[in-house]
Structure 1
Amino acid sequence: MSEEVLTEVRDGILIVTINRPEAKNAMNQAAAEGIAAAMDRLDAEDDLRVAILTGAGGTFCSGMDLKGFLRGERPSIDGRGFGGITEKGPVKPLIAAVEGYALAGGFELMISCDLVVANSGAKFGIPEAKRGLAAAAGGLVKLPQMIAPKIAMELALTGDFIDAQRAYDLGLVNRVTDGPALDAALELAGKVTANGPVAVRVSKQVIVESPGWSYEERWQKQGALMPQVFMSEDAREGSLAFAEKRAPNWKGK
């Protein structure tokens, strides 16, 4: 794992920290490789149930490292995109814990996560046009599917920032906290880890993939995935635990 990315495990939660505070956690190649490696670990290890992506030093990510860009460095991973997740994320849930700025590529990292928790002082935006660039890591193609297209257009063309409350009102943020974003993200992650791992994984898969399904095929495609859930050991365990008034003992199979 690169020194630009730190990892820690707490109760089945993998905390992934972009560790370039001197550069406002601007994304370089080493950090992108570190995040991609952490996502591989998340999906490979059965005892890991969810990950949190955050940044060191009070900033989430200020975007692409422009100095690295001028040196010809590419902060992307083939097949995965900017920061190792914008084109293809992990199978298991990923939560963004945002402090400070989530700008440009940092904003695109954030919207590539499944859930977002932000400190009330956080700022968001895709100001690439101010530098003669474009938000090509998801800002231009994902954002109009998440919020009103005219608002997405305004953010892209003006490069203006929005605050945490505005991001929450637009539906880009799940929770705003006055305290540390990581603490609130850990609380949210705990709610995810309390549930059946197979059910969580397949539920995420359907929500992520179904926008590309036609009306005619949506029930067929969803139905093809459901046996993994309803025929799993966890499905039986969840029902037994409910009947016996106890916490489930999930096996993830």
Structure 2
Amino acid sequence: MTGEIVIAPSILAADFARLGQEVAAIDTAGADWIHCDVMDGHFVPNISFGADVIKAIRPTTKKIFDVHLMIAPVDPYLEAFAKAGADVITVHAEAGPHLDRSLQAIRALGKKAGVSLCPATPESAIAYVLDRIDLVLVMTVNPGFGGQSFLESQLEKIERIKAMIGDRPIRLEVDGGITRDNAAAVAAAGADTLVAGSAVFRGNSAADYAANIQAIRTAAETGRVPKGQDNAVQPMRLGEGGRTR
């Protein structure tokens, strides 16, 4: 089996008028991580929120803040997001000319480092940085908007990246159109960390969110790779002071 399945609800789909309460609700509902999609209206065609919002909601939960930076340039803002409370900082391979330098900067800030790939970007883009990352994020929609349909063409990419990772302790995350209907296929391809927005924030209570999270988790578990074919990656945990370990 792969490492434990992690469900990371994307707060992009939350009610922004009551964002703090929404984060607390998905915490109670069983979210493993809190996924924060940061968009700049330049790298992607939408604007979401910045470091100040993450700082404001950080006290509402002790869960890992999985911050996905869809911004360019990204390097000038890494420190701000680290200070705001990010535990994992993921940058896009397409967002700057010096991916290796960006990853070094994230780790120098004491944070876990991730790389995200857009649908048209081949997995070869991360071949020379695998030993600098803690997470690979495969986009299964074109980034910029929530509520898009899952691109099945990315399943083969997920499989190839899983093979590239080998026995490295790297999480393989998937973001875009994840639902209870495709979670099994995504997990079967090798993903162990699933981001879901609209599929989680259906309903209007923690109980609704809990049912949605559990449905996705159960579906993903059915697709997991049989025991003996994994690299046993375990979930990132928070230690003292909110640091990951």
Structure with the greater relative contact order (CA < 8 A, sep ≥ 6): 1 or 2? 2
Q: When you count helix as a share of all residues, which structure comes out higher?
A: 1
Report the TM-score when normalising by structure 2: 0.36
Greater C-alpha Rg: 1
Using structure 1 for the length normalisation, give the TM-score: 0.36
